[in-house]
């Protein structure tokens, strides 16, 4: 079952409105923050026009809007790792195989070691 362009724009607009309302912002404040008219923002939400890629990227980075959900209707699973953990994963992925083996050995050592007591602790 295929949906038409107009229906797709309507669905995107509806999800965009849902995400805006969830963030607690009005159409006026969103329009102002993006440097567009309230009328233009309203057209986005009514599915008359589509926000450009830069607007969608800012919705994600500044407001935490799930842009994948807005565009597809499929919610992005929430990440269960912290920012620090993600940095470790990103650094690990950037390493070559030799460096990965070394970091795995170091990680195993730290994970299985007992904390060193500070001076004066029993």
What pLDDT sits at residue 23? 87
The confidence score (pLDDT) of residue 78 equals: 77
Tell me, yes or no, whether 26 lies in a domain: yes
- Show the domain range for 91: 83-112
Record the pTM.
Answer: 0.62
pLDDT at 121: 64
Residues whose CB falls within 8 Å of the CB of residue 66, separated by 6 or more in sequence, listed in order = 19, 60, 75, 76
CA distances from 61 to 35, 58, 76, 91, 110 (A): 16, 5, 14, 22, 34
At 24-36, the pLDDT tens digits run 999 999 999 989 9
Q: What is the CA radius of gyration of the chain?
A: 23
Residue 13 lies in a domain: yes
Mean per-residue pLDDT pooled into runs of 10, the chain (122 residues): 84 94 92 93 95 91 89 86 85 92 90 74 62
Q: Token pair for residue 55? A: 């607007």
43: CATH = 1.10.260.40
Is residue 30 located within the same domain as residue 66? Answer: yes
pLDDT of residue 50: 93
């Amino acid at each position: 079952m295929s949906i038409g362009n107009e229906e797709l724009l309507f669905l995107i607009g509806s999800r965009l409105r849902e995400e805006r309302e969830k963030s607690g912002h009005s159409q006026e404040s969103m329009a102002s923050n993006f440097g567009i008219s309230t009328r233009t923002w309203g057209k986005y939400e009514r599915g008359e026009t589509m926000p450009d890629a830069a607007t969608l990227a800012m919705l994600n980075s500044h407001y935490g809007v799930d842009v994948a959900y807005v565009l597809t209707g499929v919610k992005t699973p929430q990440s269960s790792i912290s920012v620090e953990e993600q940095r470790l994963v990103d650094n690990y992925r950037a390493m070559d195989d030799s460096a990965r083996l070394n970091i795995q050995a170091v990680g195993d050592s730290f994970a299985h070691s007992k904390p060193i007591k500070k001076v004066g602790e029993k």
